[in-house]
Amino acid sequence: MSMDENMELRARLSELSKRIDTKIRDLKSQGVMKGVVREAAANWKLQHFNLTETAKAGTRPPSELAKDLEILSLAFERWLARTDKTFEA
């Protein structure tokens, strides 16, 4: 992985981590971090952690990691939209 690819991937992983953490804080403040929502939040954190560790290990091509990150990001955005709609005030 070139230095530029590595830095870009880490920046994108960091951005997704912030989005996940922000959403979890929001859900906690709304009092809805229970059951299925709690499990889903834990799953997003785990998937992100696994992808981050794989990137650190450098065992997969950057193009594969970028695709996996894009898939995870899009899936998270869809979950956000569904969750936001469900818990709208």
Kindly list the domain boundaries of the chain, sorted by start residue: 49-89
Place 70 in a pLDDT band, splitting at 50, 70 and 90.
very high
Q: Across residues 14-18, what is the average pLDDT?
A: 97
Q: For position 80, what pLDDT does the model report?
A: 92
Q: For position 89, what pLDDT does the model report?
A: 54
Tokens of 51: 């992808």
For residue range 19-51, list pLDDT tens digits in order: 999 999 999 999 989 999 999 999 999 999 999
Predicted TM-score (pTM) of this structure? 0.88
Residue count (the chain): 89
Using CA atoms of 39, 42, 44, 48 in order, give the dihedral in degrees to the nearest 10. -160
Residue 35 phi, psi dihedral angles, 5° rounding: 50, -125
DSSP state of 60: S
